[in-house]
Structure 1
């Protein structure tokens, strides 16, 4: 597994990973609820909910549970889907029913952005490996950029570990 992280202008986060599994397996990690639940959330968090509505204009509801049992919900509203190539969605904060809520009400920093654009690209490599790049757009500060980077890296570490269990 390789890791490449860069910070573009405007605090856009770009993380590239190479997984030693097929593109289909990496695609399912993003599109099927049971797979999402195996990796969503930072290290030591669990994901008890991943209700997927994976289609353009569909909205999935995912939950990460803190080690002390606090649930934090996000919605992923899909803008573009190109099978085995690209997923684009807006990530927002929500309650357990998918209703938008202020992230600060959940203990997040007051400048935590809403509707964070995410673009995930997939590229089949030789030898049954897949390169995946996650881009998150528009963090307003270095603090939020670094918090998101750390969380994303931990999620992708869990994703890699889930492939070895499959």
Structure 2
């Protein structure tokens, strides 16, 4: 009996580790894109976990703010994002992939409230925003926040969940 129990312990530990390594589902969240002000780009693709993404198009503003967005229901919190964009000013196509910190799932489930400046009202219906930032020299950032932007809000948080440097090729 002791041998049987001893053989089950490593299996139980392995199952526990596998279970802890993945992220859980989020009931509702919003994913968006942004770039530095004055750096107009054309988003070609933003794809999470090789399965779902944000519609592509013009992105003109604002770093660490959710520009063009997509709403997501009952979706697994992503573990990676692959992006590709065209920077017309440099005539370059940037592309890259960034791993997303698995701690983001727990942060998304426990984002704090914020206060509206104009009314003093405390916002209790907090939506997690996952923002992908694309910089003018190929930086890729992934942020999690409790509000689309900081305008008219006190208490907005911004957690960086990943970053990386895109590669580029000439736009022929």
Q: What is the TM-score normalised by the length of structure 1?
A: 0.31
* Higher radius of gyration, 1 or 2: 2
Q: Which has the higher contact order (CA 8 A, sep 6+)?
A: 1
Q: Which has a greater percent of helix? A: 1
Q: Which has a greater percent of strand? A: 2
